[in-house]
Chains A and B, each alone.
Chain A
Amino acid sequence: MATDYNGYITAERIEGDEEGALAGRTVAVKDNISTDGVRTTCGSAMLDDYVPPYDATVVERLKAAGATIPGKTNMDEFGMGTTTETSAFGPVENPAAPGHVPGGSSGGSAAVVAAGDADAALGTDTGGSVRCPAAFCGVVGIKPTYGLVSRYGLVAYANSLEQIGPIAPTVEGAAELLEVIAGPDDRDATTRDAREAGASDGDGEDGNGPGDGDSSGGGAYDYATAADGDVAGLEIGIPTELVDGAEPAVEETFWDAIADLEAQGASTHEVDLESLRYAVEAYYVIAMSEASSNLARFDGVRYGQSGGYDGNWNETFARSREEGFGEEVKSRVLLGTYALSAGYHDKYYKQAQDARAWIKREFDEALDDADVLASPTMPVTPMEMGESLSDPMKMYLADANTTPVNLANLPAISVPAGETDDGLPVGLQLVGPAFGEKAIIRAGSALA
């Protein structure tokens, strides 16, 4: 079923099993997650007719849980964008704010949920790509702890940063979906078992084990029951760096939501995290560097657009990549190649890794004195369509609040905080300790 806001690239139904936790529900899947026999384009002309011969682990788990996949959702090309305007299949319009972008890069996933065309969706979050569109479309999105969810079958953009995460209208709905997709996977060596990785705050009894594991560690994966809205005694740290840069209308909505949490029994304090000022730069250096390596595989030989030219093979590859990649992808691959090239590695990549370690340390320290950290998800309201494409720096800087979380490998949730006076959705981000998904789900469920 096509949508008038261009939410799907391929609207082909994939039926799941008859029974399971998600039986009777539809879960749309971002088009960079492999689906056996259904084309998977990554929003790129390069993979216009690529049909994966296997399912991603998360897709296997969705089907085993009884979900129906209504289609593959539109996205920024290879996940590179904050507005879902760089897709080779055209931009997505925000169903919750017509004329505005849905956020990105999982803009199609958030849009189909916001429009009610799917019960939930999977997105991927490399620097905010689940949380940003969730915030802009007025729905809930979770970026899991690095290693909680298998990336097997996800077409890689920046492996050290990205996670697959759920988008749903409510925190409980997102938590239910997270329960289905979380858990270790032999085919992704970076996955960890939350029961062994120190998941805390477990008060659930019935061991709802992950994927294929046994259920001996109790309720480490019982995310849905954590959505009980109980924030009495919750201590919330608020990093001033992530609030001061926000638009006034965003800041106002954010503080109203914090007041709501306080009224329900939470307490707050402000923290200074100086390292966060360098997050966007560090994120883009690392993400572009990893992208330059990951996207080297698209040469038109094994898959992808082929020039079919004769002559020197390097020239042949260069022509098929010229034709298959869009402007933003070329730009990031080239900048990443530059940052890693001889003479520049120390200047950019090493400094970015230092910033990453610093951010991780400051987050860990802040989470010693707080259960969760809160900020606006995005410092801006949804841009008007076409507004930011010509100004990439503006687009990059909009990622100021989401990128630090990926650099620190931590979990975060975006929940609707309210709307501005102009009726534009604003998201509130809650960041938790590693494998502390329950803490952010519990806190977020007090608002949505």
Chain B
Amino acid sequence: MSDGDRDADGETGDGGETAAADDTAAAVDPEEVRHVADLARIDLDDDEVERFTDRFAEVLGYFETLEEVPEVESEPSLTNVMRPDEVHESLSQEESLRNASETEDGYFKGPKVS
């Protein structure tokens, strides 16, 4: 993730075919997939790492075409709207806990922080 020159071969046009995948295959290695999976908190077995490495190369190669998009000025579509806090009816503690696999004393119970 830290090497900075992975956009070297700007594959343009309709990427995503095998040529694009081959061009960018070097840009994604299994370690990178493992690192992203670690960030996303999803365990992967070795077969999955292999499959996702190929998939990353193909899809990211396709995303390269976005480099052709010009800078577009747009007005921000979102503005902050403030209002005072108000107390409303909400779920009861019991309802909120109903789907938890483990609870204790009215709280969610998670794995130990070792």
Binding site for B on A (CB under 8 A): 49-51, 53-54, 189, 275, 278, 281-282, 284-285, 292, 296, 299-304, 306, 308-319, 321-322, 325, 327, 330-331, 333-335, 337-339, 341-343, 347-348, 351-352, 354-355, 357-358, 360-361, 392-393, 396-397
Contacts and interface: CB of A to CB of B under 8 A. Distances in A.
A51 B98 contact: yes
B102 interface: yes
25 contacts: A50-B99, A51-B99, A275-B69, A278-B68, A281-B65, A284-B63, A302-B96, A302-B99, A303-B99, A311-B111, A311-B112, A313-B111, A313-B112, A313-B113, A318-B42, A321-B42, A322-B43, A322-B45, A331-B52, A334-B37, A334-B40, A341-B1, A341-B39, A354-B71, A355-B69
A320 to B, nearest CB: 9
A310 B112 CA distance: 7
A24 to B, nearest CB: 31
B110 to A, nearest CB: 5
Given A281-B66, A301-B100, A342-B1, A334 B111 contact: no
A148 B15 CA distance: 36
Contacts of A316: 110-111
B73 to A, nearest CB: 8
Q: Which 5 A-B pairs have the closest CB atoms?
A: A357-B74, A322-B43, A303-B99, A306-B101, A53-B95
B100 A397 contact: no
Interface residues of B, number: 53
B17 to A, nearest CB: 8
Majority secondary structure of chain A interface residues (helix, strand, loop or mixed): helix
Where chain B touches its partner, the secondary structure class is loop
Contacts of B71: 354
A49 B99 CA distance: 8
Contacts of A281: 62-63, 65-66
A338 B42 contact: no
B70 A348 contact: no
A303 B100 contact: yes
Contacts of A341: 1, 36, 39
A292 B40 contact: yes
A299 B41 contact: yes
Contacts of B2: 343
Given A306-B102, A357-B74, A333 B40 contact: yes
A304 B96 CA distance: 13
Contacts of B109: 301
B72 A354 contact: yes
A49 B45 CA distance: 25
Nearest to A355: B69
Nearest to A354: B72
Given A189-B81, A284-B59, A285-B66, 7 more contacts: A281-B63, A284-B63, A301-B108, A308-B102, A313-B114, A322-B43, A351-B66
B87 interface: no
B114 A53 contact: no
Contact of B42 (A300, A303, A322, A348): A322
A352 B101 CA distance: 39
